[in-house]
Amino acid sequence: MLSIIDRYIIKKFLSTFFFMLGVIMMFAIVFDVSEKLGEFISNEAPLSEIIFDYYINFIILYGNMFTSMIVFLSVIWFTTIMAKDTEIIPIWFSGKPLSRYLRPYFIAASLLMLFSLGINHFLVPRANKVRLSFEEKYYRDAMVVRDYHAEFPGEESVYFSNYTNSDGRVNDFVFQKWSKDRKPIYFLKSRYALNQPNSKKWELHDFYEKRFFNDSIALRHVKRLDTTFNFSISDMALRENTAESMSYSELKAFIKRERAKGSAIVPLYEIELHQRTSYPFAAYILTLIGVSVASQKRRGGVGVNIAIGLGIVFVYIFAMKMLTVAALNIGFPSLIAVWTPNVFFGIAAIVLFRFSQK
């Protein structure tokens, strides 16, 4: 059963959160429009698509991305005002355990965490699919892939020197097939290749091939050939943010395929997968830190507490980015890289709360 003070704090928490979310997203949209308006006009993007395909999904993505930070700022803002108005002292000295004081904060944080978790796993991937499709059509620069190499199931490997999606040419295309004991079976090199859209059909231009037999090698040179492979260019030429548009199951399957190919950026996709859960849980940690920082009166009031809070957020974000770089560059496990900041800042939050009681 919620008491009057519980309902009061929850109402303050949620109303401040959604007010700040609205203000921050309004400024984000203004800055984004000023940056991209020229591209939208030059590419003749329809107004309806700009609003419904891009900016509605823009709000879903970045509103959810900033949820934990806005939770933190909201807690600091309204708790500082409560402390300034001497509303905190009677609560702390009411004779009830201090953990009781945290209950309404964590009820509100839980509502926002569950809301963010659901959006992260179900709504954001769908929204990103529409948004990225819009950007590909009206805004994005040409995608260029250089020096691509990957292993495919069935003892096959592919290499090409470069590919640009504007002309669709895969230059210096090399395909090799090996036996189970890693002996060469087939080798093909084409000056350039074209993949038919949304298919595994290919056009090879000016290519030669080698077929390896037990006691001989057969060579052939052909100017042009239509053929099929077990892959398409979409399996190889991907933007780094492609994973953002995949559901949980799609992303798991995609990581499995990329790992089988020996892709060097598998950790990037694993980080995306784990962050969808770790970011919402950060709301609990930042709520506790916010309460600890803002529950005491300070000279300077809200401004000082927000400055302290922003410093903590900066350190938190820096720790996440540093561990992400470690996961990408030195093989640090992605799961540990994503959750370590939450663990350490969770401990720091408990320590801060203990000190704030004094």
Q: Which amino acid is at 5?
A: I
The residues, any chain, with a CB within 8 Å of residue 188's CB and separated by 6 or more, are: 173, 174, 175, 176, 204, 207, 208, 209, 210
Residue 320: is its pLDDT beyond 60? Answer: yes
List pLDDT tens digits, range 157-197: 899 999 988 778 899 999 999 888 888 899 999 999 999 88
Count CB atoms within 10 A of the CB of residue 23. Answer: 11
Q: Where are the domains of the chain?
A: 4-139+265-356, 144-232
Only one residue has tokens 């640009």, namely: 164
Of the listed ranges 125-129, 239-243, 279-283, 333-337, the least confidently predicted one is 239-243
Of the listed ranges 265-269, 307-311, 347-351, the least confidently predicted one is 307-311
The Cα–Cα gap between 342 and 278 comes to 8
Greater pLDDT, 89 or 34: 34
The Cα–Cα gap between 243 and 129 comes to 10
Residue 32 confidence (pLDDT): 92
Helix (H) or strand (E) holding 144: strand 144-152
List pLDDT tens digits, range 256-303: 888 877 777 788 888 888 888 888 998 999 899 888 887 766 665 666
Residue 356 confidence (pLDDT): 67
- The two beta strands, 169-178 and 217-228, are unpaired
The Cα–Cα gap between 130 and 149 comes to 29
List pLDDT tens digits, range 127-158: 998 998 898 888 876 678 888 888 887 788 89
Contact between 271 and 338 under an 8 Å Cβ cutoff? The reply is: yes
Greater pLDDT, 316 or 72: 72
Residue 44 confidence (pLDDT): 87
Greater pLDDT, 227 or 321: 227
Residue 330 confidence (pLDDT): 76
pTM: 0.78
List pLDDT tens digits, range 17-70: 999 999 999 999 999 999 888 888 888 889 999 999 999 999 999 999 888 889
Contact between 310 and 289 under an 8 Å Cβ cutoff? The reply is: no
Burial of 49: CB neighbours in 10 Å, binned 0-12, 13-18, 19+: middle
Sign of CA dihedral 119, 120, 121, 122: positive
Reported confidence tier of residue 323, pLDDT bands at 50, 70, 90: confident
Distance linking the first and last C-alpha atoms of the chain: 29
For the segment 303-332, the average pLDDT, to the nearest whole number, is: 76
Question: How many residues appear in the chain?
Answer: 358
Cross-strand bridge partners of residue 203 = 194, 226
Sign of CA dihedral 12, 18, 21, 23: negative
Residue 101: is its pLDDT beyond 60? Answer: yes
Q: What is the average pLDDT value for the chain, to the nearest integer?
A: 85
